[in-house]
Amino acid sequence: NAGVTQTPKFQVLKTGQSMTLQCAQDMNHNSMYWYRQDPGMGLRLIYYSASEGTTDKGEVPNGYNVSRLNKREFSLRLESAAPSQTSVYFCASSERSGAGATNEKLFFGSGTQLSVL
């Protein structure tokens, strides 16, 4: 039982390049989330998926797109990377679906450290 798995662990991009961060969970959870973590700012929600087939914007969605490929997988895409997107990205999941899905324990992956030069 691996929990939440993120790939890659590290990535360096040049400004304007694109890439996709992958996330998969094996806990049969309904909701999945993408957060970014910056020094002194805690974790901020980028996008979430409160059930298979749905996605919604979080606090900081600009410059990102997401795909809920199936119940297990939730990917985050940067179409044209910018230095402001240098951050550590965390995927998380929770069992509940729909509104209020974050009103319970979140399970986090180990993160992707992304640098955009």
Using CB under 8 A as the binding rule, whether residue 60 contacts another protein is answered as no
Q: Min. distance of Cβ 105 from another protein in angstroms?
A: 5
Question: For another protein, which residue of 13, 78, 101, 116 counts as binding (CB under 8 A)?
Answer: 101
Cα 65 to chain center, whole Å?
A: 10
Q: What angle do CA 109, 12, 85 make, to 5 degrees?
A: 70
The secondary structure of residue 102, as a DSSP letter, is T
Is the CB of 80 or the CB of 105 nearer to another protein?
105
Using CB under 8 A as the binding rule, whether residue 4 contacts another protein is answered as yes
Using CB under 8 A as the binding rule, whether residue 76 contacts another protein is answered as no
- Measuring CA to CA, which residue among 15, 10, 18, 8 is closest to residue 83? 15
Using CB under 8 A as the binding rule, whether residue 42 contacts another protein is answered as yes
Place of tokens 């119940």: 71
Is the CB of 5 or the CB of 17 nearer to another protein?
5
Report d(CA 86, CA 90) in Å as an integer.
Answer: 13
Place of tokens 């979080």: 58
Is the CB of 91 or the CB of 116 nearer to another protein?
91
Question: Which residues are near another protein by CB under 8 A?
Answer: 4, 31, 33, 40-45, 48, 50, 56, 58-59, 90, 92, 99-106, 108-111
